[in-house]
Chain A
Amino acid sequence: MKPKIVLGIVSIVLFTSLLMVNFGNSISTYVTFDQADDRNSSHVIGVWDKSRESGFSRETMSFSFFMEDEEGNVRRVVYPRPKPNNFEQATQLVVVGEMRNEVFYANEMLMKCPSKYNDASEADFVNAESAMGVEE
């Protein structure tokens, strides 16, 4: 084989492996609050626990609320920004941050909304429908 081709293949292999290793390191897995205890940075999926207190504190300039994760554990989440748009509307929340002493400090928060293109009430319908196994 020509040395050029060998060189080409080697560099492609090198590039790809470097890329994949870096990619593997930069993603992580969604965890529960319990698992988040031993980690530095975690993604936790859950829903807002509306029955408990939530609100923006002007004292600490942060928004805090209670979130229930997929295993049903409820923890307080502190988010150092005002309550985001669409918070109430979100059918699911993803908080990214660190768990310390039963409190989750979220640096980032993603809201899964039914869709940007429609509204909450419709999502209820969609859920209700799929629960009954009916599709148009």
Chain B
Amino acid sequence: MEGVTGHLFVSAAFLTALISMILYGVTSRREHRTLERSAHLLWTASALCTLVASGLLVWLIMNHRFEYFYVWNYTSTDLETMYLFSAFWGGQEGSFMLWILFAFVIGLLLIRTTGKPYRSPVMFVMALTQVFLLSMLLGWDIAGLNLGASPFRTIAQELANAPFIQANPDFVPDDGTGLNDLLQNPWMMIHPPVIFIGFSMMTVPFAFAIASLWTQQYQDWIRPALPWTLAANLCLLTAIFLGGYWAYETLSFGGYWAWDPVENASFVPWLIGTAGIHMMIIQKKSSRAHKGAIFLAILAYIAIVYQTFLTRSGVLAEQSVHSFVDLGLYNQLLLFMLVTLAMGAGFYLYRFRELPSPDRESAVLSREFMTFTGGMMLFVLAMVIILGTSSPIIGRLFVDHPTPPAIEFYNNWSMPIAMVMALLTVVGQYLFWQKYNWESLSAALVTPLLLTSAATILTIVLGDIRSIYYMVYLFCAWFTVAGNGAVMIRLIRRKPALIGGALSHVGFGALLLGILASSAYNEVLLDDRGQNYNRMIDEGELFDENGFPVTQKVEIFELVLNQPRKIGDRYMVTYEGYRITDSPRPGQQQYRIRFEPLDGGKPFTMTPDVYPMQTTSGPGQIEWSVDPDVRMRPLNDLYMYVAGSAYVDGINEQVSGESSGGRIGESTVMDSDSGLPDEHPSLEEEESEGQTLRFNRGEPIEAGPWRFIFRDFVPVSEESLPENTVIGVRALIEAHHVPSGEAYELEPLFSVYTDEGSSWTWTPPLEIERWDLEVSFSSIVPEEDAIEITFRGLDEEYEEDWVVIVAEKKPFVSVVWLGTFLLMAGFAISIFRHADRFFGKEE
């Protein structure tokens, strides 16, 4: 019932948005007060319908209505309330809804704040995009043509062919499949809303650009469009930051950026938007660059639709881990993209000749030229990244079944482009506030250049930089910081409200420094064995059994419980045990890895986690995920995670039922800290069999918290044995309980006697009551001069406890974050500066 209601509200929202679009279209051509007011009303009605539908979806989620596919697919009863709420935008349909909602709110703001003649055409474009977005949620079936995927479809509709539905069409599952564990993270909760606010804000410059072409008013659109673009870019940047931080802190990717198609797809609109901001600023200041500003305002939104198409249509599925599941929206998304593209290109080309162009070219040393070139560089970088990301399509020009480009493709192009940008920012900022000729500019730049040189040389010496390319890059980056910093300081004295641009550029410089340090000087920490192995590979000395040179380097090292090991020539690292915390997820373990700096610094303990993924683990198979621990410090981040452990291995063997004979005791899991066994009832049975260990005389064996030594045989007096005993001997076993320091001496008996012609062994167990340990002398292996002792109640298998560790030292990740924050702050300051006139009065 609720589903039908929701469906109706979505349909109503679609229809009202469609009608309001038509009305706005009419009033754009010819002014008509009443019609425009009706269009506003319809817009509001459509917004309310979407709001009701969204509320309904949230309500269904909160009430665990698992008969609805969306609820079943993205939530479960054990989900925390906040993640339950965020599941609303966890799936493709809900995230469209959120996007639409934000765009409606922005539309309402635009209706209030936009004056004639732009209002109608702007709202026409806004309504057009809403119509397309709402169509993705329709779930209409018109003559076999599917239009959209409704978030309110039931399981019976979605999985009509599933056996359990065919057997019982009214089947309602008891629980949902749950939200992906990796997304159950506070950063991931706010990441999507921030992105969709950015997306919907980016519609505004697009709408204004089209409106300016429509109405032939090419100058004034910039005043409202610029602050909206800045705000959209601030949101996109924040979203990119959140995504990168999440990837760094909770995933085992080992970094904040991987040139993944989806990451690129969020980066490209930001780059184009930023390029557009540069053009708009020139247009606002100097009434130039109309063509560039309008072009980029249009392109930024097209880039957003294109990225939506790439991530949601399924074309990227092979290349990206991020893409959404294909909902069959390919054609609709393609149409959306083609319509925005056709509209943008059509309007632009139709009016191109009419667009104002400057009477004379700008001088090279002018703020117009520098800002324009800076914008162009951002645009070129965006194009390079689009090219790389589009490899499944464009790559077909070269090969049949193209792979994504190698990471070097992105690095090799973005680095030099960024270096040119870096130099342009400084010259551009100087010229922005004051006129210079070559001579006076050189004079003004003396101090920043001196500072830059000093900083660069210091960095090269301290960082032991060998590559000339990196040296030049460092110079450019420091120059950006010093030059823009100098401009900023001057501005702070004059008028602090103006520092937005300079501050962003300082942030850009910091970002460049941080990126180089954290990526090019990332160091994998290894033990001596790993280091030697890798050195031999480097020197080509290592060959496999077939005589081929080995090329795969090791990147991980192993630690055995309480055995310190020297890692990375920098730390003494000790695995101190683990604890099953069951928090926040059941089955989660926390490992304690102690680092003692060899240079005498203060020791510290890192606590990475491993947990079973709830949504993807089933009986017979557990899928483990890691939660890295990152020790963030201004100079260096120490990033590490546990890639494997004896505990995880044991559980896996248990679950897959492959546990081989002789490895009993896997089942009880010992907390090596407290000595308390963690009970796993499924294998209690096996436990009663006990664990048999073979001892050679004098050789110690460690098992769990125990250390045993078989000292010698002890003869047995005949009187103490039954009459028909053939052999009778005792073994002197020293048992040392390591954690408590207590020691015991035991003399278990091994005897063979005959009864009615058969031989029997009699091995009465001895008990250490305190530790609930039973010891019996189960057999003699004369050929090896060894004996076998069976223990019951050993807390841990004989196998030593170990972990496999991935650890990396990443210098100056903090500077990457710092640069990002400065960029954000710069954008935020600029919004206020450019928006005050806009919000203050109606145009």
A interface residue numbers (CB < 8 A to B): 4, 15, 19, 22-24, 26-30, 43, 45, 56, 58, 61-62, 78, 80-89, 92, 94, 96, 98, 100-101, 105, 107, 110-123, 125-126, 128-129, 132, 134-136
16 A-B pairs besides A27-B403, A105-B552, A116-B183 with CB distance below 8 A are A24-B397, A27-B395, A29-B403, A45-B318, A61-B554, A61-B557, A78-B552, A80-B554, A86-B616, A89-B623, A117-B324, A122-B325, A125-B162, A135-B146, A135-B328, A136-B139
24 CB contacts below 8 A, A to B, read A24-B398, A26-B406, A27-B402, A27-B405, A29-B403, A56-B804, A58-B644, A62-B554, A81-B643, A81-B806, A82-B804, A82-B806, A85-B625, A94-B318, A98-B551, A105-B552, A110-B321, A113-B321, A116-B183, A116-B323, A118-B177, A119-B615, A125-B162, A136-B146
Provide the bound-state CA to CA distance between A131 and B252, in Å.
Answer: 34
Nearest B-chain residue to A79, judged by Cβ: B552
Of B33-41, B151-159, B291-299, which binds chain A? B151-159
B802/A126 in contact, CB under 8 A: no
Are A117 and B806 also in contact (CB < 8 A) when A22-B412, A27-B395 are? no
Are A111 and B321 also in contact (CB < 8 A) when A58-B804, A85-B252 are? yes
Q: Which of B146, B149, B252, B384 contacts A19 (CB 8 A)?
A: B384
Q: Which of B92, B317, B380, B406 contacts A117 (CB 8 A)?
A: B92
B555/A117 in contact, CB under 8 A: no
Contact with A along B386-419 (1 / 0, CB 8 A): 0110010011011111111110110011000000
A23/B802 in contact, CB under 8 A: no
Cβ–Cβ < 8 Å partners of B168 in chain A? none
Cβ–Cβ < 8 Å partners of A119 in chain B? 177-178, 180, 615-616
A56/B644 in contact, CB under 8 A: yes
Query: Is B182 positioned at the interface, with any CB of A under 8 Å from its CB?
Result: yes
Contact with A along B614-631 (1 / 0, CB 8 A): 011000010111100000
Cβ–Cβ < 8 Å partners of A114 in chain B? 325
Provide the bound-state CA to CA distance between A117 and B70, in Å.
Answer: 11
Cβ–Cβ < 8 Å partners of B578 in chain A? none
Provide the bound-state CA to CA distance between A97 and B623, in Å.
Answer: 25
A112/B317 in contact, CB under 8 A: yes
B546/A100 in contact, CB under 8 A: yes
A134/B551 in contact, CB under 8 A: no
> Within the complex, what minimum Cβ distance (angstroms) separates B553 from chain A?
7
> Within the complex, what minimum Cβ distance (angstroms) separates B550 from chain A?
8
Provide the bound-state CA to CA distance between A132 and B159, in Å.
Answer: 11
Nearest A-chain residue to B153, judged by Cβ: A136
Contact with A along B77-88 (1 / 0, CB 8 A): 000000000000
- Residue of B553, B556, B806 with most chain A CB atoms under a 10 A cut-off: B556
Cβ–Cβ < 8 Å partners of A107 in chain B? 552
A26/B409 in contact, CB under 8 A: yes
Cβ–Cβ < 8 Å partners of B324 in chain A? 115, 117
Q: Which of B74, B321, B644, B802 contacts A118 (CB 8 A)?
A: B74
Question: What 5 A-B pairs are tightest by C-beta distance, nearest first?
Answer: A82-B643, A115-B325, A26-B409, A29-B399, A80-B552
B558/A117 in contact, CB under 8 A: no
B413/A19 in contact, CB under 8 A: yes
Nearest A-chain residue to B397, judged by Cβ: A24
Cβ–Cβ < 8 Å partners of B317 in chain A? 112
B413/A118 in contact, CB under 8 A: no
Provide the bound-state CA to CA distance between A119 and B74, in Å.
Answer: 9
Nearest A-chain residue to B380, judged by Cβ: A15
A118/B73 in contact, CB under 8 A: yes
Q: Which of B91, B157, B162, B613 contacts A136 (CB 8 A)?
A: B157
A61/B558 in contact, CB under 8 A: yes
- Mark out the residues of chain B between 111 and 166 whose CB falls within 8 Å of any chain A CB in the assembled complex: 139, 146, 149, 153, 157-162
> Within the complex, what minimum Cβ distance (angstroms) separates A67 from chain B?
16
A134/B558 in contact, CB under 8 A: no
Are A117 and B180 also in contact (CB < 8 A) when A26-B405, A27-B391, A29-B403 are? yes
A26/B158 in contact, CB under 8 A: no
Provide the bound-state CA to CA distance between A85 and B625, in Å.
Answer: 6
Secondary structure call for the B interface: loop
A23/B401 in contact, CB under 8 A: no
Cβ–Cβ < 8 Å partners of A62 in chain B? 552, 554
A116/B321 in contact, CB under 8 A: yes
Are A89 and B182 also in contact (CB < 8 A) when A26-B405, A113-B321 are? no
Provide the bound-state CA to CA distance between A117 and B623, in Å.
Answer: 16
Cβ–Cβ < 8 Å partners of B546 in chain A? 100-101
B interface residue numbers (CB < 8 A to A): 73-74, 90-92, 139, 146, 149, 153, 157-162, 177-178, 180, 182-183, 251-252, 317-319, 321-325, 328, 361, 380, 384, 387-388, 391, 394-395, 397-406, 408-409, 412-413, 530, 544, 546, 548, 551-558, 613, 615-616, 621, 623-626, 643-644, 802, 804, 806
Provide the bound-state CA to CA distance between A16 and B183, in Å.
Answer: 40
Q: Which of B73, B252, B557, B613 contacts A122 (CB 8 A)?
A: B73
Provide the bound-state CA to CA distance between A30 and B399, in Å.
Answer: 9
Q: Which of B318, B615, B643, B806 contacts A92 (CB 8 A)?
A: B318
A61/B804 in contact, CB under 8 A: yes
Provide the bound-state CA to CA distance between A127 and B387, in Å.
Answer: 31
Are A81 and B555 also in contact (CB < 8 A) when A27-B405, A117-B90 are? yes
Provide the bound-state CA to CA distance between A121 and B412, in Å.
Answer: 41
> Within the complex, what minimum Cβ distance (angstroms) separates B262 from chain A?
9
Cβ–Cβ < 8 Å partners of A110 in chain B? 319, 321
Are A125 and B159 also in contact (CB < 8 A) when A23-B388, A89-B616, A117-B91 are? yes
A129/B161 in contact, CB under 8 A: yes
A43/B623 in contact, CB under 8 A: no
A30/B401 in contact, CB under 8 A: yes
A116/B159 in contact, CB under 8 A: no
Provide the bound-state CA to CA distance between A128 and B165, in Å.
Answer: 14
A19/B408 in contact, CB under 8 A: no
> Within the complex, what minimum Cβ distance (angstroms) separates B164 from chain A?
10
Are A58 and B624 also in contact (CB < 8 A) when A89-B616, A98-B551 are? no
Cβ–Cβ < 8 Å partners of B325 in chain A? 114-115, 117-118, 122-123, 126
Cβ–Cβ < 8 Å partners of A118 in chain B? 73-74, 91, 177, 180, 325
> Within the complex, what minimum Cβ distance (angstroms) separates B315 from chain A?
13
> Within the complex, what minimum Cβ distance (angstroms) separates A66 from chain B?
16
A80/B555 in contact, CB under 8 A: yes
Provide the bound-state CA to CA distance between A98 and B552, in Å.
Answer: 10
Cβ–Cβ < 8 Å partners of B158 in chain A? 136
Provide the bound-state CA to CA distance between A101 and B544, in Å.
Answer: 10
Cβ–Cβ < 8 Å partners of A30 in chain B? 401, 403
Q: Which of B394, B556, B557 contacts A81 (CB 8 A)?
A: B556
Cβ–Cβ < 8 Å partners of A88 in chain B? 616, 621, 623
> Within the complex, what minimum Cβ distance (angstroms) separates A44 from chain B?
10
Provide the bound-state CA to CA distance between A114 and B400, in Å.
Answer: 24
Q: Which of A82, A100, A135 contacts B644 (CB 8 A)?
A: A82
A128/B623 in contact, CB under 8 A: no
> Within the complex, what minimum Cβ distance (angstroms) separates A60 from chain B?
8
Q: Which of A87, A116, A132, A134 contacts B180 (CB 8 A)?
A: A116
Nearest A-chain residue to B622, judged by Cβ: A88
Cβ–Cβ < 8 Å partners of A94 in chain B? 318
A134/B625 in contact, CB under 8 A: no
B644/A23 in contact, CB under 8 A: no
Nearest B-chain residue to A42, judged by Cβ: B403
Q: Which of B323, B398, B530 contacts A27 (CB 8 A)?
A: B398
Provide the bound-state CA to CA distance between A78 and B328, in Å.
Answer: 36
Q: Which of A58, A86, A100, A128 contacts B558 (CB 8 A)?
A: A58
Cβ–Cβ < 8 Å partners of A112 in chain B? 317-318
Provide the bound-state CA to CA distance between A123 and B177, in Å.
Answer: 12
Provide the bound-state CA to CA distance between A136 and B159, in Å.
Answer: 8
Q: Which of A4, A28, A135 contacts B399 (CB 8 A)?
A: A28
Cβ–Cβ < 8 Å partners of B621 in chain A? 88
Provide the bound-state CA to CA distance between A119 and B621, in Å.
Answer: 14
- Residue of B153, B399, B400 with most chain A CB atoms under a 10 A cut-off: B399
> Within the complex, what minimum Cβ distance (angstroms) separates A82 from chain B?
4
Nearest B-chain residue to A85, judged by Cβ: B625
